[in-house]
Amino acid sequence: MKFRLAAVAVTALFASSASLAGVVTSSSNIDFLAIDGQKASKTLLKDVRSFNINDNNTHQVVVRVSELVREGSDRTLFESDPIIVTFQGSSEDLQISAPRLSNEREAAQFKDKPVITVKSASGKVLETKQDYLKQEGFLPGVNLVDNLSDYNSSGAVAAVPALATATMPAAMATVGANGKVQKGKITVQGENAAEQMLQYWYQQADKETQQRFLNWVKNQK
């Protein structure tokens, strides 16, 4: 009897935990580029257009809106610049959506003033903060996470300061004006967070791991 009661209690606990989780999906014209400071990847996405949240904390996504729009008698592909959307999480399922754009005029209006809606399964429209993510560098898509981290450090309208250093180890959170980070005998210097992280973890590794890494790098050429 005690075993059955314990089993029922465990089942109820898991059911309660599951009920607090929500799924965020997007309309068919939206792609997720980043989720809570990290580049959208298979480990974060349930599929191409959805991911899980299980708390009521502040969340931030970067999205791109894409549509085939009419241009006279032809159709052209419209792709927006990356748009940051910050919103409060919910235990309900949420959908992030953009209006359908059918022609050049609608696309131009959206580009000038993009509107992304976050709505709960019960129909409530959530309050959001939105802004364009300015892209820097020769390959802006590659630098998206770095650009987002810089944005979150800026105090801009849709910034989430807690996500500013999400891509860097805690030991590397303090960076001097000369771009160097010190932790004991470890010193790194680089143009971006990814380069600094590579140097940091290389120096953290043992000699055998460092050599395997160098061999791997040689094979990438």
Q: What's the per-residue H, E or C state across 4-32?
A: HHHHHHHHHHHHHHHHCCEEEEECCCEEE
Full-model pTM: 0.66
Min mean pLDDT across 27-41, 154-168, 174-188 is at: 174-188
pLDDT at residue 183 is higher than 60? no
Dihedral angle of Cα 171, 168, 177, 82, to the nearest 10 degrees: -160
**pLDDT digits over 82-133, tens only?**
999 999 988 899 999 999 999 999 999 999 999 999 999 999 999 999 999 9
Residue 180 has pLDDT above 50, yes or no: no
Per-residue pLDDT at 199 exceeds 70: yes
What DSSP character marks residue 82? P
* β-strand pairing of 38-39 with 30-35: antiparallel
pLDDT at 197 over 60: yes
Please choose, from the candidates 160, 14, 23, the residue with its C-alpha nearest in 3D space to the C-alpha of residue 91: 23
Kindly report which listed range (5-14, 27-36, 173-182, 186-195) carries the lowest average pLDDT score. 5-14
Q: What are the structure tokens assigned to 73, written together?
A: 């008698």
- Return all residues near 197 (Cβ < 8 A) that are at least 6 apart: 167, 168, 169, 172
**Comparing C-alpha atoms, which of 64, 114, 119 is closest to residue 88?**
119
- Enumerate residues 6+ apart whose C-beta is below 8 A from 11: none
Distance separating alpha carbons of residues 211 and 151, to the nearest angstrom: 36
| Whether residue 170 has pLDDT greater than 90 | no
Q: 205: helix, coil or strand?
A: coil
pLDDT of residue 175: 45
In angstroms, the Cα distances linking 32 to 47, 174, 211 are 11, 29, 36
- Confidence band (pLDDT; 50, 70, 90) for 220? confident
- Res. 77: pLDDT tops 60: yes
What is the model's pLDDT at position 4?
Answer: 47
Q: Write the CA distances from 176 to 40, 172, 181, integer angstroms.
A: 29, 10, 6
Q: Are 128 and 86 in contact, with CB atoms under 8 Å apart?
A: yes
